[in-house]
Amino acid sequence: MPSFESINLKGIVSDLDGVAYRGSSPIPDAVEAFRRWHADGIPYAFVTNNATKSAADFATRLTRMGIVAEPEQVFCAVSATASLMRRRWPAGARVFAIGERPLFEVLEAAGFTPAGDDAEVVVLGFDYQLNYTKLSTAVCAALGGAAVVVTNPDLLVPIENGYEPCVGVLMAAVQAAVPSCRPIVVGKPEPLMIEEALGFLGTPRDGTIMIGDQIATDILAGQRAGLRSVLVTTGVAVAARTDVTPDLEVASLLELIAD
Ligand SMILES: [Mg+2]
């Protein structure tokens, strides 16, 4: 394992779930590490595939846990989806979305028009109220040629006492019904959110690290963005078939703090 002191640490991009907290419980070493980085003036930003909350929601949650965070420092799948769509489709484009309230709010703010199976774009996000009617509308729109945008490709999300199925399962269902559709994936392992975080930090790639607990999403996204990656083993490991190797593996973020 390479010595971490060899990296002149200028900035940090970090995952949230499994790194800063696990379920609703903060991870004490992570809270302490981010407090030290904040005191030392090392800028950090967070990237999360969780598409059920807004950046402001995450910043509030982090601040309550003792990690100083402003909404501008949080790059989440919901806001990244809206910014990708604003670049690709004009305001007023007809959109059918499956998701929670924060997703609908950003799509409305971006000026898209809610639609049914006549939509030009189908957005797949996390929805605790997912049902057959919504799936059917998404499939019919995709059959009609709608583009499919997916907030994040995760299949399973670790929760306190196990896992719950995530948006990747919904994407797989739509793809099974419409094999010709080529979903546009927003969240990690695509590097879009990492690039947005880097733009915010303004730090050089060779001095910025990506911290995550999932090799197939966090570590791969960090590598695709040209960052050195740190796997922290505080998350709940989900077995993933991958040959991606992190630059460093730690059991606690405090191992990254230079004394
Ligand atoms: Mg995670």
CA of 259 from ligand 1 middle (Å) equals 27
Cis peptide before 189 (omega within 30 of 0): yes
Burial 113-146 (b: 16+ CB within 10 A, else e): eebebebbbbbbbbbeebeeebbebbbbbbeeeb
| Residue closest to 71 by CA, chosen among 50, 46, 49, 52 | 46
Q: Let me know if residue 66 belongs to a domain.
A: no
What is residue 5's predicted lDDT score, i.e. its pLDDT?
57
Domain boundary pick from 147, 166, 185? 185
Does residue 214 sit in the same domain as residue 244?
A: yes
Does residue 133 sit in the same domain as residue 211?
A: no
CA of 20 from ligand 1 middle (Å) equals 9
Give the whole-angstrom CA distance, residue 69 versus residue 37. 12
What residues make up the domain containing 118?
Answer: 81-185
CB 71 within 8 A of CB 63: no
Q: Let me know if residue 56 belongs to a domain.
A: no
CA of 99 from ligand 1 middle (Å) equals 20
Does residue 198 sit in the same domain as residue 246?
A: yes
CA of 138 from ligand 1 middle (Å) equals 28
CA of 37 from ligand 1 middle (Å) equals 20
Only one residue has tokens 């595939």, namely 49
Does residue 198 sit in the same domain as residue 179?
A: no
What's the total number of domains in the chain? Answer: 2
Does residue 108 sit in the same domain as residue 158?
A: yes
Q: Let me know if residue 60 belongs to a domain.
A: no
CA of 193 from ligand 1 middle (Å) equals 14
Domain boundary pick from 185, 216, 242? 185
What is residue 237's predicted lDDT score, i.e. its pLDDT?
59
Q: What is the DSSP string of 170-200?
A: HHHHHHHH-TT---EE-STTSSHHHHHHHHH
Does residue 105 sit in the same domain as residue 176?
A: yes
CA of 214 from ligand 1 middle (Å) equals 6
The one-digit pLDDT tens for each residue of the chain (259 residues) are: 445 555 689 999 999 998 999 878 899 999 999 999 999 999 999 999 998 888 999 999 999 999 999 999 999 999 899 999 999 999 999 999 999 999 999 999 999 999 999 999 999 999 999 999 999 999 999 999 999 999 999 998 877 777 889 999 999 999 999 999 999 999 999 999 999 999 999 999 999 999 999 898 999 999 999 999 999 987 655 555 568 899 999 999 999 987 6
Domain boundary pick from 185, 203, 227? 185
Residues whose CB falls within 8 Å of the CB of residue 127, separated by 6 or more in sequence, listed in order: 98, 99, 100, 134
Q: What token pair was written down for 20?
A: 């800063």
Q: Let me know if residue 87 belongs to a domain.
A: yes
CA of 144 from ligand 1 middle (Å) equals 35
CA of 237 from ligand 1 middle (Å) equals 9
What is residue 52's predicted lDDT score, i.e. its pLDDT?
86
Give the whole-angstrom CA distance, residue 78 versus residue 126. 10
CA of 133 from ligand 1 middle (Å) equals 31
